[in-house]
Structure 1
Amino acid sequence: MTTTRIRQSPAVPAVLVGGGTALGLLLGLFGPGLARGLTALIERTPFPVHGLVEQLGQIDQVWSLPVLGGAGLLGGIFLAVAAAGEAPRLEVARDHLEHRQEDRETWVERSETAVAFRDRKDLVLLGSDGALRARLDVTDLPWSTVRTALTGDGWPLRDADPYDADFQPWADGRPGFTPEEHALLRERREERKDKAARRRADAALAAAGVVVRERDDRLQVRRVRGHRPSGDANPEGARGADR
C-alpha cells in the first residue's frame, strides 16, 4: 500500500532565511545613515534622542553590514527552525490518513469518512451523518499536493461543505443548546487563539452533536441531523483521533 507523505514546502525556510539576511543587510547598509539623519532631526526638537538610535548612527558601515547582516541571518534561521517545528505533516493512504503537528498525532480511517473539504486553513473530515470526524491544520502544506493525494487515493473530497446552509450564527443563550453546550461554545470563543483549548472544545462539541466554525470573527454552529440536545456534553463520547 502506497502512502503519500506531504511536508512543508522547502521554499518556506529558504524565504525566511533569505528574507532575514536581506533585511539585516539593508539595515546594515542604510541604517546608520538613517539613524544619523533622524538624530539630527530630533536634536532640533525638545525630545531626547533614543540611545539605540544614537548608537546605530555611530556604527561604521564596515561593521554594520557584517554585524546586522549576520544578525538577520541568525534571526532567519531561528524563524525557519521554529516554522519547521510547528508545520503539520500529512500522510495519505487509501484506507487512512495520519496528521502530525508538534506533539499531536491524528489518525482517520477512510471507512469512517463520508466527506472531506478544505475550510480556510483546515482540512475537515465528516462522517456519514455529517458529524465532525476531524479538523486538521494544513496551513503550511501545498494544497495542490494534498488535493492530488486525496483524490488519487479515492477520498471523498469536495469543493465546499455540503452542510454549509445548516450553519447559524451562535449567540450565548440562544435556544436549542444545553447549558453545557453554551459553556463549551463560550470557551471556544474565548480561547480561539489557543489551539489546544480550541481542539478540546471542538471535540467536546462534536461529542454533543454540534459542529462549529468561524466566520467574520463570529462562531457559527449546526446541529448534526438526528442528534438531539442532551444534558451530557462529555467529550469522552467523541470519536477522537488525537493520540
Structure 2
Amino acid sequence: MTTTRFSQSRSVPAVLIGGGTALGILLGLFGPALARGLTAAIERTPFPVHGLVERLGQIDQVWSLPILGGAGLLGGIFLAVAAASEAPHLEVARDHLEHRQQDREVWVERTETGAVFRDRDDLVVLGPDGGLRARLDITELPWTKLRTTLTTDGWPVRDDDPYDGDFQPWADGRPGYTSEEHALLRERREERKDKAARRNADEALVAVGLVTRERDGRLQVRRVRGGRPSSDTNHEGVRGADR
C-alpha cells in the first residue's frame, strides 16, 4: 500500500543555521564599532554603561568576527535541532493516517472518519457523528500537497468545518451546559497556551459530547449532534491509538 510521508522542509534547518551565522558575522563586523558609539553616547548621560556593551566595544575585529560568527553558527544549529525535534511528521495512506510529534503518536483509521479539514495550523479529523477524532499539528507541512494527497487517497476533505454553524461562543454559566461541562470548558480555556494540556482538555470534552475551537480570542463550543453528556464515556474512543 502506498504511503506518502510529510515532514519539515529541508530548507528550514538551512535557513536557521545560515541566518544565525549571518547575524553573528554582522555583529562581528559592526558590533564593536556600534558598541563604542553607544558607550560614548551613554557616557554623556547620567546613566551607567552596561558592562556587556563596554566589553563588546573593547574587542578587536580580528577576534570579534570569528567569536561572534561562531556563536551565531552554534545558535543556528541549536535552533535547527530544536525545530526538527518539535516538527510534526504525517503519513497518509488510503486506509489510515499516522501522525508523530515528539513523544506523541496518533493513528486514525479511514473508516472512523467523517470529514477532514484544515483549521489554521491543525488538520482536524471528525468522526462520522461529527465528534472530534483528532486534531493534528501540521505546522510547516505543505498544505497544498497534503490536501491533494488526501483527496487522491479518498479522504473526505472539506474546505472548512461542516459543522461551522453549530458553534456558539461560550461564557461561564451560560445555560445549556451542565456544571461538569462548564468545569471542563473552564479548564480548556485556562490551558489554551499549553498544547499537551489543551489536547487533554479537548479529549475530556469530546468524551461528554462537546467540541471546541478558538476564534477572535474566545472559546467556541458545539455539541455533537445526538450526543448526550456522560461522565462514564470512555476516552479511548476519542484518542484511539494515541500513545
TM-score class normalised by the smaller sequence? over 0.9
Q: Which deviates further from its counterpart, 41-50 or 171-180? A: 171-180
Displacement after TM superposition at 1:233 (Å): 6.5
Q: Distance in 2 between matches of 1:30 and 1:24?
A: 10
Q: Is the contact between residue 28 and residue 61 of structure 1 (CA under 8 Å) also seen in structure 2?
A: yes
Aligned 8 A contact 1:181 1:233 in 2: no
Once the two structures are TM-superposed, the CA of residue 127 in structure 1 deviates from its matched residue by 1.2
Rounded Cα–Cα distance in structure 2 between residues aligned with 1:30 and 1:128: 61
Q: Given residue 19 of structure 1, which amino acid in structure 2 is its aligned partner?
A: G
| DSSP 3-state at the match of 1:42 | helix
Shift of 1:228: 2.7
Please list, as runs of the form range in 1=range in 2, the aligned pairs for 1:85-234 lying within 5 A after superposition.
Answer: 85-230=85-230, 232=231
Query: Displacement of 1:238 after TM fit?
Result: 3.8
Question: The residue matched to 2:239 in structure 1 has which SS?
Answer: coil
Aligned residue for 1:34?
Answer: 34
Give 3-state SS (helix, strand or coil) of 1:202's partner: helix
Please tell me whether residue 79 in structure 1 is matched to residue 103 in structure 2: no
Instruction: Determine whether 1:239 maps to 2:238.
Output: yes
Once residues 169 and 156 of structure 1 are traced to their aligned partners in structure 2, the CA distance between those partners, rounded to angstroms, is 27
Alignment partners' CA distance in 1, 2:178 and 2:9 = 44
CA shift, 1:234, in A, is 5.0
C-alpha separation between the residues in 2 aligned to 1:143 and 1:124? 13
Shift of 1:194: 1.1
Q: Could you tell me how far 1:185 is from its partner in structure 2?
A: 1.1
Q: Distance in 2 between matches of 1:210 and 1:187?
A: 14
Relative distance call for 1:112 and 1:62 in structure 2 (3 A) is same
Secondary structure at the aligned position of 1:48 is classed as coil
Relative to the length of structure 1, the TM-score reads 0.96
**Residues 134 and 238 in structure 2, CA contact (< 8 A), matched pair in contact too:** no
Which amino acid in structure 2 is aligned with residue 124 of structure 1?
V
Q: Offset at 1:239? A: 2.5
Whole-Å separation in 2 of the counterparts to 1:222 and 1:95:
28
In structure 2, the CA distance between the partners of 1:199 and 1:154, relative to structure 1 (3 Å rule), is same
SS in 1 for 2:76: helix
Work out the CA distance in 2 between the residues paired with 1:20 and 1:155: 40
On the 8 A contact 1:203/1:238 being kept in 2, the answer is no
Q: Secondary structure at the match of 1:33?
A: helix
Matched position secondary structure for 2:235: helix
Q: SS at 2:186's partner residue? A: helix
Alignment partner of 1:139: what SS? coil
Query: Secondary structure in 1 aligned to 2:21?
Result: helix
- Would you say how many aligned residue pairs link Structure 1 and Structure 2? 242
CA contact (8 A) 1:117 1:161 kept: yes
Q: In 1, Cα distance between the equivalents of 2:182 and 2:116?
A: 27
Q: What is the TM-score of this pair, normalised by structure 2?
A: 0.96
Question: How far does residue 237 in structure 1 lie from its aligned partner after superposition?
Answer: 5.6
Aligned mates of 1:42, 1:182 — CA distance in 2: 55
1:180/1:233 contact within 8 Å kept: no
Q: CA deviation at 1:193?
A: 1.2
1:91 partner SS:
strand
2:61 corresponds in structure 1 to: 61
1:168-199 residue CA offsets vs partner (Å, 9 max, x unmatched) = 11111111111111111111111111111111
**Distance (Å, rounded) in 1 between the aligned partners of 2:17 and 2:178:** 50
The residue aligned with 2:17 is 17
RMSD in angstroms over aligned alpha carbons? 1.2
